[in-house]
């Protein structure tokens, strides 16, 4: 059932109680008046009966019934009272308004029966002769203690009924007036009690909707309880606003931390639905952060390895950290850590999954291992040769000067290669160290000077191979650079081109401004070219397309790696283009000074 307002309940209750009380009052008052008038008439008839019964005693005792009839008629007419003389057996001996001989026996009338039993009988009933209600009072007529008859007096009570009706009408009119007055008073009291509660309700609804500026203010006439309730609600609003502000501040901080984390974080409830996912997780899992909320995780996440881990974490109370490899184009490696989410009662509500993309770490670790392996291998080869030929020279049997010179030249060649390798390793190490500690100093300078110096360094070697180096570099192109490092990078590119170019060819060194407003340094050769499958890895340490040829031309496998690190140290990048049979083009891009 729909709840009713307090005003309706109070006013309705007051009104119902008032009406009931008025009806009870009218009924009690009417009954009291009726009984009062009835008793007065009864007493009056008893007094009359006592006054006139002696007048009927003599005629009744001698059975002079005609005279008895005349007396009844005479007295009844004079007093407007019906007078009846009835024998003990119920026979009517005289009656003031009817012929006694035609009247039926009265022995079964209640007032007659009561009078014969108790000497007094009173009864009210309808009289067909008078065509109205009469009140009868019957008393005994005795002669020497012997009952010789019953005297019955009766009077109409029409006037009594009319009087009672008038009284009832007056009471009713008074009751209606009282009801209206009490109703108005009830309305006023109910409204006075319900208005503060209505105001409290409206203010509470505003507070519930987030309007904490709403406050209750009651008049001094308001009840103490209402004022206390209003004060409590006002205090509750203030405290609630403070707590919500604290919660929002904490949520904002958590959201900021959550969003700025490099680790991917997502939470999944026991209904397998994603509750939260930060931007890092969305990026790693290639999912939509907004659209993923409240959706089943297996509809959002497509990686089977991650799905299996989440399923396992939901099913168990504890799940170990796990590394998974994704079979995508870049072969990402993820580290997954799962922890249960619990309420205060320790009931599990879901899991939180932390995702670390450790692809770069794994790759760096692999490169480190490969670097150590390659360095060991590159060092072992010349050292083994040097050791072998040195032991040969120590053999007394070898005393031919020409043979000894040949061995010494081999030792020198390997020692030179070993020195070049160590120098490149140290150069690369210094580059990485200085880049990490921001110790590489860049200053504004003309790039043409570095290009010309690099060409001069390589010109002697180019002449020996009958290779012409053509330089195209506009004047006054200034960039922020480290002249020594940039010169080394260009030397490495030219040297690399010389190693893989045929004699009687050209190498071009060209400086220009790219469409992206970058300074572009191109080193172009017309050698054998490089297969496409090798291009992505050319700038890795110790990566060689043809290891035998690289060693034959004196390469260490670190030259292009140094070029890449120099470009990155200048805020730039490297690129390569090549086609078999046509040659290659290595490019360094460096940001232009605004």
Count of the separate structural domains present in the chain: 5
**22: which residues sit within 8 A by CB, 6+ positions away?**
175, 178, 179
Least confident of 53-67, 332-346, 383-397, 419-433: 419-433
How would residue 371 be classed by pLDDT, with cut points 50, 70 and 90? low
| Domain-located, residue 60 | yes
Q: What local confidence, expressed as pLDDT, does residue 507 receive? A: 92
Look at residue 434 in the predicted model and tell me its pLDDT. 66
* Nearest residue to 562 via CA among 496, 498, 506: 496
Q: Looking at the structure, tell me whether residues 467 and 545 fall in a common domain.
A: yes
pLDDT of residue 510: 93
- Between these two residues, 251 and 436, which has the higher pLDDT value? 251
**Whole-model pTM over 0.75:** no
Whether 205 maps to a domain, the answer reads: no
Give 456 or 541, the one with higher predicted confidence: 456
Same-domain pairing of 227 and 154:
no
Read off the pLDDT of residues 27-67 as tens digits, 9 standing for 90 and up. 777 777 777 777 787 888 888 888 788 788 777 777 887 88
Pairing of strands 274-277, 518-525: unpaired
pLDDT in tens, 500-525: 888 889 999 999 988 778 899 999 99
Range of the domain at 113: 6-163
* Same domain assignment for residues 265 and 254: no
Indicate if 371 and 398 belong to the same structural domain: yes
Percent of the chain topping pLDDT 70: 86
- The residue out of 357, 372, 392 marking a domain boundary is 357
Q: Are residues 480 and 572 in the same domain?
A: yes
pLDDT in tens, 292-308: 888 888 888 888 888 88
Question: 376 and 346, same structural domain?
Answer: no
- Specify whether the CB–CB gap between 296 and 269 falls below 8 A: no
End of a domain among 305, 326, 357? 357
Return the pLDDT at 329: 63
Kindly indicate the confidence band of residue 375, based on its pLDDT and cuts at 50, 70 and 90: low
Same domain for 469 and 580, yes or no, is yes
Q: Is 183 among the domain residues?
A: no
Distances (CA, A) of 385 to 41, 225, 374, 397, 412: 157, 104, 17, 19, 10
Rounded to whole angstroms, the Cα distance separating 136 from 228 reads 69
393, pLDDT greater than 80: no
- Give the count of alpha carbons within 13 A of 11, CB side only: 19
CATH number of 340's domain: 3.30.450.20
Residue 143 has which token pair?
């002669």
What six digits make up the tokens of 383?
């050292």
Residues 6+ apart with CB under 8 A from 431: 440, 485, 562, 565, 566, 569
- pLDDT band at residue 76 using 50, 70 and 90 as cut-offs: confident
Residues 142 and 58 in one domain: yes
Phi/psi at 223 (nearest 5 deg)? -70, 155
> Which tens digits make up the pLDDT trace of 132-189?
778 888 888 888 788 888 888 888 877 666 777 777 787 778 777 777 887 777 777 7
Query: How far is 422 from 436, CA to CA, in rounded Å?
Result: 21
| Start-to-end C-alpha separation, the chain | 78
| Average pLDDT of every residue of the chain | 80
Question: What residues pair up with 480 in beta bridges, in sequence order?
Answer: 444
CB-CB contact of 410 with 387 (8 Å): no
552: pLDDT strictly greater than 60: no
Q: Which residue has the tokens 């040829």?
A: 549
pLDDT at 428: 64
Q: For 90-137, what is each residue's pLDDT tens digit?
A: 888 888 888 888 888 888 888 888 888 888 888 888 777 767 778 888
Measured distance CA(424)–CA(418) in Å, rounded: 10
* CATH number of the domain that residue 409 is part of: 1.10.287.130
CB distance 208 to 241 below 8 Å: no
Q: Which residue, of 436, 458, 489, is where some domain finishes?
A: 436
- Quick one: 411 and 473 in the same domain? no
Mean pLDDT, residues 470-493? 87
Residue bearing the bigger pLDDT, 551 or 154: 154
According to the model, what pLDDT value does residue 435 have? 61
Please check whether residue 172 lies inside any domain of the structure.
Answer: no
Contact 303, 309 (CB under 8 A): no
In a domain, 53, yes or no: yes
Average pLDDT over residues 491-502: 88
Whether residue 15 sits in one domain with residue 109 = yes
Paired strand residues for 355: 264, 336
CA-based nearest residue to 202, from 190, 189, 188, 217: 217
544 and 457 share one domain: yes
Structure tokens at 165: 């009706």
Residue 242 lies in a domain: yes
What average pLDDT score do residues 2-7 get?
Answer: 60
Q: Give the pLDDT score at 524.
A: 93
């Amino acid at each position: 059932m729909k709840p009713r307002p307090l005003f309706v309940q109070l006013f309705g209750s007051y009104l119902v109680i008032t009406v009931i009380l008025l009806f009870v009052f009218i009924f009690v008052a009417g009954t009291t008046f009726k009984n009062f008038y009835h008793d007065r008439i009864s007493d009056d008839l008893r007094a009359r009966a006592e006054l006139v019964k002696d007048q009927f005693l003599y005629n009744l005792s001698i059975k002079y019934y005609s005279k008895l009839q005349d007396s009844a008629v005479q007295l009844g007419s004079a007093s407007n009272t019906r007078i009846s003389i009835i024998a003990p057996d119920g026979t009517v001996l005289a009656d003031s308004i009817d012929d006694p001989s035609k009247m039926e026996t009265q022995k079964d009338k209640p007032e007659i029966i009561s009078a014969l039993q108790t000497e007094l009988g009173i009864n009210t009933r309808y009289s067909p002769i008078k065509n109205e209600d009469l009140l009868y009072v019957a008393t005994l007529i005795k002669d020497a203690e012997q009952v010789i008859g019953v005297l019955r007096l009766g009077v109409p009570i029409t006037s009594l009924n009319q009087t009672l009706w008038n009284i009832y009408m007056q009471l009713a009119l008074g009751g209606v007036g009282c009801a209206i007055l009490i109703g108005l008073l009830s309305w006023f009291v109910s409204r006075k009690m319900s208005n503060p509660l209505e105001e409290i309700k409206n203010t509470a609804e505003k507070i519930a909707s987030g309007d904490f500026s709403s406050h209750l203010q009651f008049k001094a006439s308001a009840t103490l309880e209402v004022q206390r309730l209003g004060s409590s609600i006002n205090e509750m609003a203030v405290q609630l606003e403070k707590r919500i502000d604290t919660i929002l501040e904490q949520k904002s901080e958590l959201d900021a931390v959550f969003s700025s984390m490099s680790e991917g974080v997502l939470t999944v409830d026991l209904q397998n639905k994603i509750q939260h996912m930060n931007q890092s997780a969305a990026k790693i899992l290639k999912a939509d952060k907004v659209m993923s909320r409240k959706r089943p995780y297996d509809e959002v996440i497509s990686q089977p390895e991650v799905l299996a881990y989440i399923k396992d974490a939901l099913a168990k109370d504890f799940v170990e950290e796990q590394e998974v490899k994704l079979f995508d184009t870049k072969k990402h490696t993820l580290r997954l850590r799962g922890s249960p989410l619990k309420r205060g009662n320790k009931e599990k509500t879901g899991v939180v999954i932390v995702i670390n993309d450790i692809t770069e770490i794994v790759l760096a670790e692999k490169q480190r291992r490969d670097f150590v392996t390659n360095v060991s291998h590159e060092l072992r080869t010349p050292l083994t040769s040097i050791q072998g030929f040195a032991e040969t020279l120590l053999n007394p049997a070898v005393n031919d000067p020409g043979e000894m010179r040949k061995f010494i030249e081999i030792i020198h060649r390997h020692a030179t290669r070993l020195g070049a390798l160590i120098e490149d390793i140290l150069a690369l190490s210094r580059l990485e160290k200085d880049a990490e500690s921001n110790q590489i100093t860049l200053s504004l300078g003309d790039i043409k000077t570095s290009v010309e110096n690099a060409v001069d360094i390589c010109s002697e070697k180019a002449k020996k191979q009958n290779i012409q180096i053509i330089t195209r570099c506009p004047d006054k192109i200034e960039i922020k650079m480290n002249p020594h490092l940039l010169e080394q990078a260009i030397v490495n590119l030219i040297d690399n081109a010389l190693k893989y170019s045929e004699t009687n060819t050209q190498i071009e060194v060209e400086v220009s401004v790219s469409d992206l407003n970058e300074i572009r340094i191109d080193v172009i050769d017309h050698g054998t070219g490089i297969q496409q499958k090798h291009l992505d890895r050319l700038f890795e340490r110790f990566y060689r397309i043809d290891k035998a040829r690289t060693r034959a031309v004196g390469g260490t496998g670190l030259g292009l790696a140094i070029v890449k690190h120099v470009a990155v140290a200048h805020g730039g990048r490297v690129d390569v283009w090549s086609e078999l049979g046509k040659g290659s083009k290595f490019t360094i891009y460096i940001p232009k000074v605004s």
